[in-house]
C-alpha cells in the first residue's frame, strides 16, 4: 500500500522538470530505495547533472556519517515536514549542491521519507556503478585475504565481466562464517561459507531424527 502511494510522487519528481519520458537506469533496482534512486537518475540525466548529483549524494551521506545531529534531524519523525524542507534546502544550497539534489531531498521531506535515505544511497550506488560499467562484487570471508588470495578471487570473478566493464571488488571480513566465503555479484548470491554448510548439515540431521 505504501509503495503504491509513493509511486505518483516518484513519477512526478522524475518528469516534472524536463519532459515526460522517464530515463531508465542501466539496471533495475528494486524496493523503496530503488524506486526513488531511479527517479533521481531520470531527473538528473534529463538535466545533464548526473555526475554532480552523484557527487552531491556522496557529500550528503558523508555529512550524515560525520554529524549525528544532521542524521537525527533527517530521520526524526517528530520534526515537522515544513521545518525539514526549510533546513534541508538551506543546508544543501549552502553546500553548493545542484538544484536536482535540493529538489529531491525537499521532495523526500515533503513525503516524510527522509528516514529511508540510507536505502536510497545503497540503490544509487548500484545504479551509478552500472552506469560507469562497473561490476560490483562483494566477497565476505572469515579472515582477511592476502594479496595472493585476492588475485585468485579476481581471476575467478572475471567470468562475470563483459567487454567494456570493470570489476569493483569489495572485500569484507565476518568471523562468524568460520571459513569459506560468500560472494555477491549483482543479483547473484553464492554462499560457500563453512557456517552455511554446518547449518545445512544440522537441518538435515534434525529432519532425519
Per-residue pLDDT, 166: 84
The residues of the chain scoring below 50 in pLDDT are 1-8, 15, 17-19
Percent of the chain with pLDDT over 70: 89
Sketch out the chain's domains with CATH numbers. 2-129 (1.10.520.20), 133-208 (3.40.30)
Angle value at C-alpha 54, between 9 and 99, nearest 5 degrees = 55
Kindly report, residue by residue over 91-105, the tens digit of the pLDDT: 999 999 999 999 999
Phi–psi pair at 140, nearest 5 degrees: -115, 125
Kindly report, residue by residue over 107-149, the tens digit of the pLDDT: 999 999 999 999 999 999 989 988 998 888 899 999 999 999 9
**pTM for this predicted structure:** 0.68
Amino acid at each position: 500500500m505504501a509503495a503504491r502511494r509513493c509511486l505518483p510522487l516518484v513519477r512526478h519528481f522524475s518528469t516534472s522538470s524536463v519532459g515526460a519520458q522517464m530515463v531508465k537506469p542501466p539496471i533495475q533496482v528494486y524496493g523503496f530505495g530503488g524506486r526513488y534512486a531511479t527517479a533521481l537518475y531520470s531527473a538528473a540525466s534529463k538535466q545533464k547533472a548526473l555526475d554532480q548529483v552523484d557527487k552531491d549524494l556522496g557529500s550528503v551521506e558523508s555529512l550524515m556519517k560525520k554529524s549525528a545531529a544532521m542524521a537525527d534531524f533527517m530521520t526524526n519523525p517528530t520534526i515537522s515536514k515544513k521545518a525539514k524542507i526549510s533546513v534541508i534546502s538551506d543546508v544543501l544550497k549552502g553546500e553548493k549542491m545542484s538544484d536536482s539534489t535540493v529538489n529531491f531531498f525537499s521532495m523526500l521531506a515533503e513525503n516524510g521519507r527522509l528516514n529511508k535515505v540510507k536505502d536510497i544511497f545503497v540503490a544509487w550506488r548500484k545504479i551509478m556503478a552500472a552506469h560507469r560499467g562497473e561490476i560490483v562484487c562483494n566477497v565476505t570471508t572469515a579472515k582477511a585475504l592476502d594479496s595472493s588470495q585476492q588475485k585468485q578471487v579476481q581471476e575467478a570473478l572475471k567470468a562475470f565481466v563483459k567487454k567494456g566493464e570493470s570489476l569493483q571488488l569489495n572485500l569484507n571480513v565476518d568471523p562468524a562464517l568460520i571459513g569459506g566465503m560468500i560472494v555477491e555479484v549483482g543479483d547473484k548470491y553464492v554462499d560457500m561459507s563453512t557456517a552455511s554448510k554446518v547449518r545445512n548439515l544440522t537441518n538435515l540431521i534434525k529432519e532425519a531424527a
